[in-house]
Amino acid sequence: MKEMICILCPMGCHLNIDIENDYKVTGNSCPKGAVYGKEELIAPKRVVTSIVRVSGGIHHMVPVKTDKPIPKELIFQCMELLKDIKIQSPQKIGAVVLNNILGTDANIVLTRDI
């Protein structure tokens, strides 16, 4: 049995996941909690936030993030790719910096205008 707190909404349900019983989730108040608990144990994902270099603007760096969560085991590879990226100013918030990062179908997008 594994215990965790669901973070999908402010309720913070205390989930119990039975690892020996096909990851059966109890303690959730909604169906989202059951999906979250099972996915978090089998294949955890995270939204990645970082910064990339900018040329031609008043700011030297700009914050970026993935537009959807990526597998947790790919985070360091993603960060390694981002350290070599340099984008040209001007760009608008939401502009795609990298498409389909590491084959995950997630894009790296700007979180600020530059």
pTM metric for this prediction:
0.81
| Greatest C-alpha distance within the chain | 56
Structural domain including 104 reads: 49-110
Residue 29 tokens read as 């108040």
Read off the pLDDT of residues 54-78 as tens digits, 9 standing for 90 and up.
998 888 999 999 999 999 999 999 9
Same domain, 96 and 66: yes
- CATH code of the domain in which 106 resides: 3.10.530.10
Number of domains in the chain: 2
Q: Write out the E strands in 1-114.
A: 2-5, 14-18, 24-26, 45-46, 49-55, 61-66, 70-71, 86-88, 96-98, 108-110
Read off the pLDDT of residues 84-105 as tens digits, 9 standing for 90 and up.
999 999 999 999 999 999 999 9
Can you tell me whether residue 62 is helix, strand or coil? strand
Same domain, 60 and 106: yes
